[in-house]
Structure 1
Amino acid sequence: MRTLLITGPGGSGRTTVAAATALAAARAGTRTLLLGADRDDTLGAALGTPTGPEPVSAAPHLTAWRPDAAQGFRDDLAALQDRAASALDLLGAARLDPEELTPLPGAEELALLRALRDGALAGRHDLLVVDLPAAPRALALLALPGELRRYLRRLLPPERQAARALRPVLGRLAGVPMPAEALYETAARWDAELGATEAVLADRGTAVRLVAEPGPAGADAVRTAVLGLALRGLPVEALLANRVLPEDAPADGWLAGPVAQQRKTLEEWQETYEVHRVAHLGRDPRGADDLAALAVPGAGPQASPVEWPVTDRIADDGVLVWHIPLPGARREELDLVRRGDELVVTAGPFRRIVPLPSALRRCTVDGAALRDGELKVRFAPDPALWPRTP
């Protein structure tokens, strides 16, 4: 199963490119599911086929689906009220009717994550193409499963669940209310669901395609997005330069300046990324014929995963080195904090807390350096924890 996550700066044509990608793959015979989350049916407008909460066939081998975040929110809250019925009755709380519920901020993101997980694990398709929100929201969305799992495990550690049978006894002895069984069961279910979503995002078959218009603003947005994706360990399979103007524009016309600006940015991008040019049609693409005219590639070769290797330089320099790729990072925007067995990495506007590899947990941080888009963190063995050689 391949999963392609499509994102880019706002207004760059992400939805159109996502639809064109899915259509190209389907026309090549790949069973494809195209997933979107916009409240407005921009996906259906691009495809020429309305989309909604029920999957629809948009073309041979192509299914499009735009899950209903409002319905999912109502179902989840209704289930939560049922599980907490005894507590609500004890407090005298009035239950909310499904008809009076409106989705809170973030409901669309949660619905998209659930649909992404379900679509990837259903086994009915060979390719999942996901039309993500604009890059800043998309990066926060991709970080959500891991962060929520970390919060859950801090608040309700799994190892404490082993004492479930003793909770009533402990509660009577100590006179302290113990967490209800349903609370731990709910936490375990959420952890399993979030873990399944996280596994899809971390799968070797998952990659990101960035969409941007070539130009100064697009270049800045791409650099920031690539940095955020690298910190999450997600590979960028390709950069799709959208709405590229024709090179044969008259030299004395008004297009000469924008064409020169695009050419400069494209040359810079091609030094670093796999760039696909998507021509400007002179109109907003609508329908299968326009999407095909964009000549967007379908599912290409599997992208190389982002590796964070540890190299052993104890014999030469007395340290282990953790290599963290952070393309586009700037030294003045970097920050590192060791906290127990975790490393807090801040790069520009992004922050991630990652567990240390087992060997590095027995070491102390000895320094760090950023060179050529790679952060190298040095760890010196702690004599009190490091195994002694005979």
Structure 2
Amino acid sequence: MRTVLVTGPGGAGTSTVAAATALAAARAGARALLVTADPPPGLTADETPGLTVRTLDSAGVFQDRAAELQQRLSAVFELLGASPLDPEEFTELPGSREFALLHALGGTDGHDVVVADLPPVDSAVRLLALPEQLRRYLSRLLPPERQAARALRPMLAQLAGVPMPAEWLYQTAARWDAELAAVNTVIESAATTVRLVVEPGPRAAAAVRAARTGLALFGYRVESLTANRLLPTGSADPFLAALSGQQQKHLKALYEEFGADGVPVRELPHLGRDPHGPDDLAALGGPELAVGPLPDTPADQPWSVEDRLAAEGQLVWRLPLPGATRDTLDLVRRGDEVVVDAGRFRRIMRLPSALRRCTVTGAALRDGALQVRFTPDPALWPQ
């Protein structure tokens, strides 16, 4: 299954491009699924064989989860003398749309191509990172070794004189972990790529550069850059000609930056109106948006380790970060983990076992990659 995640700076037309991408896949004969919170007007699955449009029901997902959690806490409510909430009292909270999107990505089997319309890129990067972060929190709060001691819990409670976590808590954590793992399987798959959408302009280059850095920090592969709403060139109208000229200048800069890294740039025209229906979406450039096979060249593997022990007595930990600059990077080691800040994004990662027995002796940003040098600790490294 191919999964295409579509995002970009706010207002760039990502929802339209996501819908056009799913439509192009369906018309090419694939069983396509579009996951979106805002389906374009006039696009219905009835008019497009092979296309399924799944509109996010964030309120429904939130209410179902809240009701489930309340049911599991019923014994606690009774103990405290509290009255449970009625279903109509559950009010959707901020962030529920993002959780609904993750929930939808975890259940996309049965399709050849899945196109997910993500929120603006800063929120999208944090959303894609959320399953990994939540699984880390669950592992820290309810470590597996504590779950393995369930049979001893009643006895430990008597000895310690404090209540131990109830069985439902471990069951709930295990179910959440399984659901998060299913989402991780989709978004971390080698068959999952990201399409960045941008409307060329003064702020476009900085926005997509920061986006590439954040996506690379978490190992997500940028498949292409879509330049959206391009005005026709050669207009006799001086005002339109000036606007088009500015667009072309910024488009050239995008070609130079992304083309240097082998990322193709695709151009979509401005229709002069908001797209309505499958014909308008197809007019944006069906062949340009076709979902093809993965590129032959494999993506750089994040967090790779290069063995330089024989030549330099060091191991080099390497993380590709295109678009990053030295003044936006920070790295801190904390025990067996490293905390990497790249611009507005942060990732906490557990070190490979070999690097846990080393000390950090330097770091540098070279050729678009963060390179950290580790020297074996004589007290921990086997002779």
**TM-score in terms of structure 2 length:** 0.94
2:114 matches 1:114? no
- Aligned-residue RMSD, C-alpha: 1.3
Verify the 8 A CA contact 2:40 2:276 in the aligned structure 1.
no
Q: Report SS of the residue matched to 2:289.
A: coil
**Structure 2: gaps spanning 5 or more residues:** none
Tell me if 1:371 matches 2:366: yes
Equivalent-residue separation in structure 1 for 2:28 and 2:250 (angstroms): 31
1:307 has 2:301 as partner: yes
Q: Which runs of 5+ in 1 are unaligned?
A: 50-55
Equivalent residue for 2:125, pick from 139, 160, 178: 139
1:169 aligns with 2:145: no
Amino acid at match of 1:362: R
1:298 to 290, 293, 296: 290
SS of aligned partner of 1:214: coil
Q: How does 1:166-315 map to 2 (within 5 A)?
A: 166-250=152-236, 253-271=238-256, 272=258, 273-295=263-285, 296-303=288-295, 304-308=298-302, 309-315=304-310
Identical counterparts, % of pairs: 60
Residues 32, 51 of structure 2: 8 Å contact kept = yes
* Distance in 1 (alpha carbons) for counterparts of 2:369 and 2:202: 24
What CA distance in whole angstroms lies between the structure 2 residues aligned with 1:383 and 1:241? Answer: 53
Letter in 1 for 2:146: R
Query: What is the distance in 2 between the residues matched to 1:64 and 1:289?
Result: 16
CA-CA distance at 1:353 after TM superposition: 0.3
Maintained 8 Å contact 2:16/2:40: no
Q: Find the counterpart in structure 2 of residue 7 from structure 1.
A: 7
Aligned to 2:375: 380
Paired residue for 2:86?
Answer: 97
User: Deviations along 1:129-188, whole A, 9 cap, x unmatched?
Assistant: 001111121111111111111111111111111100000001112212111111111111
Q: Deviations over 1:277-311 (max 9, x none)?
A: 00111111111111111114221231543412211
* Aligned-partner residue type, residue 43 of structure 1: P
1:36 is matched with which residue?
Answer: 36
Rounded to whole Å, the distance in 2 between the matches of 1:156 and 1:58 is 49
Tell me the TM-score normalized by structure 1: 0.93
Q: Deviations over 1:14-68 (max 9, x none)?
A: 111111101111000011000012xxxx3141x433xxxxxx5451110001121
Secondary structure of 1:311's aligned partner: strand
Q: Is the 8 A contact 1:231 1:326 kept in 2?
A: yes
SS state at 1:255 partner: helix
**Alignment of 1:331 onto 2:343:** no
Read off the aligned partner of 2:2 and give its amino acid letter: R
C-alpha displacement at 1:330, in angstroms?
Answer: 1.2
Between stretches 298-307 and 173-182, larger displacement belongs to: 298-307
Whether the aligned pair in 2 keeps the contact of 1:234 and 1:305 (CA below 8 Å) is: no
- How far apart, CA to CA, are the structure 2 residues paired with 1:217 and 1:126? 35
The answer for the alignment partner of 1:25 in structure 2 is 25
C-alpha distance in 2, partners of 1:48/1:201? 26
CA distance in 1, matches of 2:325, 2:66: 43
User: Aligned letter for 2:342?
Assistant: A
**Aligned: 1:345 with 2:340:** yes
Corresponding letter in the other structure for 2:312? D
Is the 8 Å Cα contact of residues 212 and 242 (structure 1) preserved in structure 2? yes
Q: Which secondary structure state, in structure 1, belongs to the residue aligned with residue 107 of structure 2?
A: helix
| Alignment check: 8 A CA contact 1:369 1:376 kept | yes
CA distance in 2, matches of 1:305, 1:191: 27
- Which residue of structure 2 aligns with residue 318 of structure 1? 313
Asked if 1 retains the 8 angstrom alpha-carbon contact of 2:341 and 2:347, the reply is: yes
Amino acid corresponding to residue 265 of structure 1 in structure 2: H
Give the whole-Å Cα distance in 2 for the aligned partners of 1:65 and 1:263: 36
Q: Distance in 2 between the 1:97 and 1:57 partners?
A: 37
Counterpart residue number, 2:68: 79
Q: Quick one: distance in 1 between partners of 2:67 and 2:146?
A: 28
Contact 1:214-1:265 at 8 Å conserved across structures: yes
Contact 1:171–1:178, Cα closer than 8 Å, also in 2: yes
Q: Which amino acid aligns with 1:149?
A: R
Instruction: Report the alpha carbon displacement of residue 258 of structure 1 after superposing the two structures with TM.
Output: 2.3
- Indicate conservation of the 8 Å contact 1:6/1:132, yes or no: yes
Cα distance, 1:260 vs structure 2: 2.3
SS at match of 1:20: helix
Cα drift, residue 257 of structure 1: 2.7
Q: Deviations along 1:317-363, whole A, 9 cap, x unmatched?
A: 11111110111111111110001111100011110001112221111
Residue 67 (structure 1) aligned with residue 52 (structure 2): no
Quote how far apart the aligned CAs of 1:255 are. Answer: 2.2
Question: Per the alignment, in what secondary structure is the counterpart of residue 254 of structure 1?
Answer: helix
Residue identity opposite 2:294 in structure 1: Q
Give the Cα separation in 2 of the matches to 1:48 and 1:162: 51
1:276 to partner: Cα distance: 0.3
Tell me the alpha carbon deviations over residues 209-267 of structure 1, each in whole angstroms, 9 at most, x when there is no partner: 000011221111111111110011000000000011112223x7112332222222222
8 Å contact from structure 2 (residues 6, 197) kept in 1: yes
How many aligned positions are there? Answer: 373
